[in-house]
Structure 1
Amino acid sequence: MEIGAFIKLQRIKQEMTQEELASGIVSMSYLSKIENMKTEASPEVISMLCTRLGIQVDGEKDVTIKEKCEKWYNSLFEVNDKEEITKGYQELNELLGIVRSDSLMMFEIHKIRYFLILGEMSNALDQINHLNELAGSFDSLHKYYWYKFKGNYSSASGSYNQAMRMYKLAEEKLDLLRLPEEEIADLHYIIAITNSKLRNTLEVIEYAEKAIDVYRKNYNFLRCAQCHIVLGISYRRLKMYDKAIKNHNLAKHLGELNKSKQIIQLANQNLGYLHSSKGETEEAIHYFEEVAKDEEVNLNERLLAITSLIKEYHNIYNFDKAREIIDKALELLDLGKNNVHYKLYYYIIHTYKFAIDGEDKKFQALVTEEFIPYLKKQKDYGNLVVYAKMLGKYYEDQGRYKDSVKYYKLANLTYEDVVNL
């Protein structure tokens, strides 16, 4: 990392102005030239600037820091204890605050990933904004991770088109770098996932196959399982059901070998979707129940499964069973008030509750005034199609054909948008 960029980064981190740093050492214009690498300052000037910033120059410590950084970076790409990740972050943050190191810029970029792992979206965005001013000084390796982690942020925010743009910019840097093949596979995997969100089914298969080749060779069976799940989803969308089932069952098998309940139940959830899309309600219910009753699976997955069960029982007019499941769903929902998807599950559960109990006014008010606007705002097109059609059918049964046409039209237009994504 160039000394000028290093000084600029440390100054910005310490919220120090150029005037405050330069005072009594150099002119502000000269400091600006140093920071933007338009001139080379003398060792004496660099030393005085570093002293004012409270930075030591210690080559031996820098070697240790580089090793610690690499270990910490690797911990961000596997399932690791968040306490251990945070402990590593705090140690490095303290060290890099007092020692000049070439690792500083890469560490600052990896902070974006760190904040995302902790679910601290606002801190991740602040870090992105903080680094924007320095992006012009990034080398190819910095740019690769900069684009990748900005893509991670956009994906976590639900901005999948923007995420894809960032991932593609990262991919363009691959020819300029010698990255470990597992790192390249990770980029291909997240491109596959993002393409899946965008319904680019053929691209999903292309990138997932690239990733799985590496994971298989390196015996990374959990990542293999994740690739099989995304492949299964793609083949389901192509109505290639045999291939979809094969991939989901392979994922389950690998999950069982690795004793990963999360992988096993993610495969079950998707097998439930598959059988539901084929109209095989009994099989769909079987798989959704497997997930919903598993207390070892995270709450979000259980809520997803139990709301899927409500839909299945509603669709076959088994309202007694649907009411029973709704009661269980409400108990689960009470445990997940801090869940990021709480509002979605609340709307789904209460939509079916009001519909089944014949509470027409509550049903109409909830779906038209709250749920549909929420889905539009979230750009949740899949659910928007489902609940716009449900509302259209409700108005049709009521003989309110003008309202019925309005929501059927919304469902159709939304479906076209999904197909054209």
Structure 2
Amino acid sequence: MEIGPYIRLHRIQQEMTQAELAEGIVSYAYLSKIENQKAEASPNVISLLCTRLGIQPNNESDETIREKCEQWFRMLFSENDKNEMIRIYHELNQLLYDSHSSENLIMFEIHKIRYFLITGEVDEALKQINKLAEMADTFDSLHQFYWYKFRGNYSSVNGEFNQAMRMYRQADNKLNQLDLPENETADLQYVMAVTHSKLRNTLEAIEYAEKAIAIFRKNYHFTRCAQCHIVLGISYRRIRMHEKAIKNYNLAKHLGKLNQNKQIIQLTNQNLGYLYSTIGKREDAIFHYEEIVGDSEVLLFERILAATSLIRAYYSNFNVEKTKEMIEKSLELLDKADDKETYQLFYFITYTYDYAINRNKGKFERLVIDEFIPYLKKHKDYANLVIYSNMLAEHFERNNRYKESVKYYKLANETYDELVSL
């Protein structure tokens, strides 16, 4: 890292203005030129600026710090003990600012974005992005690759998939300028496949997942291979190539078992359950959903998703006792949720069927009409909007309220047309 950007980074870290740093040493205009590599300052000026910042300009030889940084960077891209990753982060944070290792510091600062996303500190990730944006114009090609990639990760976490794709493409454009390990290329191709899938660019999702899986397979990265197979399974389901979808899901599940990865296994069960439910094989769907609900090692979100899927499946099979049993299970799991907003959809689903199965018409209508359907419209959840508009229409039809029934059948049909056009 050049001395100008190095000084700039430390100045920003210390929340010091250019005028404050330059006072009595150089003009702040000249400092700006130094920081932006438009002027080469004398060793004496550099020494005075570094002294004011409390840093040393030349400490590039700390091999221990470099190796520890590389170890930590690798931990951010594979499954590791999160507590160990956090411990090394704090250790590095102290080491880098005690030693003022300019060679490693900027990469560490950029990788903090990824770290904060992994630890769920999304606001901190944004603060880090905003801080580094002030000096992004000084980044070399390697820095830019990670800068764009992690900004794409941030946008993905926030559901801004078009913006994420723009960032990933910028990172992809840097690849031909760099000599990176194959797994780095494959990781970018994988997140691009996922993002294309979120945007429903199905053919592109297949293309990038196939590229990534070819590299991960060669390097025996079974978890990543499994994740790519899941993307392929979703993509083939969307274009109604159900046999290829099932094959990819089963390959993912097999790799999950080889790697003893419960999350992969149950994610494939979730997707297999959904596929079988869409093609009318409800018993097969129920089998896969039940495997998830009963597994206490699976993430809470996945268990609640499976529980609400089972509620719908049992209700469709007219199995009243099992529907009630699964409503109780869903409410039990929802009680464990800290962030109620994240699970709002599942509350709506659970109580919709609770009121329906117990024939509480007033509560059912008020919930679905006044809260649930507006929620689905707001979040553009077209698939669920079709399901629950139809459910409401059927309810009105059974109760001879045909005008209201027609209204919601119409909404379901219009929403289905919108879904098909995506």
TM-score, normalising length from structure 2? 0.94
Is 1:385 the counterpart of 2:389? The answer is no
Q: Distance in 1 between matches of 2:167 and 2:58?
A: 36
Residue of structure 1 in register with 2:125 after alignment? 124
Please list the CA deviations of residues 49-88 of structure 1 after superposition, one character each: whole Å capped at 9, or x if unmatched. Answer: 1111111234355433222211111100011122111112
Match of 1:149 in 2: 150
Residues 1:147 and 1:331: Cα distance change in structure 2 (over 3 Å): same
2:291 is aligned to 290
Residue-by-residue CA offset, 1:329-353 (whole Å, 9 max, x unaligned): 1111111233773222112111211
Match for residue 192 of structure 1? 193
Q: For the Cα contact (< 8 Å) 1:291–1:301, is it kept in 2?
A: yes
Give the structure 2 partner of residue 93 of structure 1: 93
What percent identity do the matched residue pairs reach? 63
CA positional deviation for 1:376: 3.4
Structure 1 Cα separation of the partners of residues 402 and 127 of structure 2: 49
Matched-pair contact (CA < 8 Å) for 1:275–1:284 = yes
- Equivalent residue number for residue 394 of structure 1: 395
Q: Is the 8 A contact 1:115 1:124 kept in 2?
A: yes
Kindly indicate whether the alpha-carbon contact (under 8 Å) linking 1:281 and 1:312 is maintained by their aligned counterparts in 2: yes
Q: How does 1:345-384 map to 2 (within 5 A)?
A: 345-384=346-385
In the alignment of these two chains, the number of paired residues is 421
- Partner-residue secondary structure (3-state), 1:178: coil
Check if 1:13 corresponds to 2:13.
Answer: yes
Between stretches 111-120 and 221-230, larger displacement belongs to: 221-230
Give the deviation of 1:367 after TM superposition. 2.3
Alpha carbons of 1:403 and 1:51: their partners in 2 closer, same or farther (altered >3 Å)?
farther
Q: 1:316 to 1:68 in 2, by over 3 A?
A: same
Mapped to 2, the partners of 1:350 and 1:375 lie a distance apart of 15
In the TM superposition, what whole-angstrom CA distance separates every residue of 1:93-119 from its partner, at most 9, and x where no partner exists?
223324141222221111110000001
Shift of 1:417: 4.0
Are the equivalent residues in 2 in contact too, given 1:62–1:101 (CA < 8 A)? Answer: no
Q: Quick one: which amino acid aligns to residue 230 of structure 1? A: V
- Go from structure 1 to structure 2 and tell me whether the alpha carbon gap of 1:58 and 1:41 turns closer, same or farther (over 3 Å shift): closer
Whether the 8 Å CA contact 1:372–1:388 is kept in 2: the answer is yes
Q: CA 1:179/1:279 → structure 2, altered by over 3 Å: closer, same or farther?
A: same
Give, in whole Å, the separation in 2 of the partners of 1:358 and 1:372: 19
Q: 1:149 to 1:102 in 2, by over 3 A?
A: same
In the aligned structure 1, how far is the partner of 2:202 from the partner of 2:279? 19
Query: Residues 55 and 100 of structure 1 are in contact (CA less than 8 Å); yes or no, is this contact kept in structure 2?
Result: no
Contact 2:3–2:57 at 8 Å: present in 1 too? no
Q: Structure 1 residue 299: deviation in Å?
A: 1.2
CA displacement, residues 191-234 of structure 1 (integer Å, 9 cap, x when unaligned): 11111112221111111111111111111111111111111111
**Distance change >3 Å, CA 148–CA 408, structure 1 → 2:** farther
- Per-residue CA deviation, residues 303-349 of structure 1 (Å, 9 max, x unaligned), is 11111000111122222321111011111111123377322211211
| 1:236 correspondence with 2:240 | no
**What is the CA–CA distance in structure 2 between the aligned matches of 1:415 and 1:137, rounded to whole Å?**
49
Q: Assess, with a 3 A threshold, how the Cα gap between structure 1 residues 156 and 340 changes in structure 2: closer, same or farther.
A: farther
Q: Offset at 1:151?
A: 1.0
Output one character per residue of 1:126-185: Cα deviation in whole Å (capped at 9) or x when no partner: 111112221222222122111111111111111112211211221121112111110111
Return the letter of the residue paired with 1:40.
E
More divergent stretch after superposition (63-72 vs 4-13): 63-72
Q: Is the 8 A contact 2:230 2:248 kept in 1?
A: yes
Q: Quick one: structure 1 residues 236 and 45, their matched pair in 2 at CA, closer, same or farther if it must change by over 3 Å?
A: same
C-alpha distance 414-4 of structure 1, shift in aligned 2 (>3 A): farther
Large movers: runs of 4+ above 6 Å: none
Superposed, which structure 2 residues align to 1:216-231 within 5 Å?
Answer: 216-231=217-232
Rounded Cα–Cα distance in structure 1 between residues aligned with 2:417 and 2:155: 24
* Per-residue deviation, 1:378: 3.2
For 2:339, what is the secondary structure of its paired residue? coil
In 2, are the aligned partners of 1:195 and 1:204 still within 8 Å (CA)? yes
> Where do residues 158-237 of structure 1 align in structure 2 (5 Å cutoff)?
158-237=159-238
Mapped contact 1:393–1:404 kept (Cα < 8 A):
yes
Unaligned runs of 5+ in 1: none
User: What do residues 15-65 of structure 1 show as CA deviations (whole Å, max 9, x unaligned)?
Assistant: 111121111211111111111222111111111111111112343554332
In structure 2, what residue type is equivalent to 1:37? Q
Looking at structure 2, the residues matched to 379 and 96 of structure 1 have their Cα atoms a distance apart, in angstroms, of 45
State the match for 1:55 in structure 2: 55
TM-score after normalising by structure 1:
0.94
Q: After the TM superposition, which of the residue ranges 76-85 and 351-360 deviates more from structure 2?
A: 351-360
**1:274-285 alignment, distance < 5 Å:** 274-285=275-286
CA distance in 2, matches of 1:28, 1:348: 60
Question: Conserved in 1, the CA contact under 8 Å of 2:60 and 2:102?
Answer: no
CA distance in 1, matches of 2:404, 2:144: 51
Cα distance change, pair 137–355 in 1 and its aligned pair in 2 (3 A): same
**Distance change (3 Å), C-alpha of 1:379 and 1:15:** farther
Change (3 A) 1:262 1:49: same
**Aligned-pair distance for 1:281?**
0.8
Change (3 A) 1:359 1:108: same
Instruction: Look up the SS of the partner of 1:15 in the other structure.
Output: coil
Q: Greater shift after overlay, 230-239 or 369-378?
A: 369-378
- Write the distance in 2 (CA, Å) between the matches of 1:127 and 1:28: 25
Deviates more, 1:75-84 or 1:137-146: 137-146
Q: CA deviation at 1:410?
A: 4.0
Partner of 2:33: 33
Matches of 1:5 and 1:149 in 2, distance apart?
A: 20
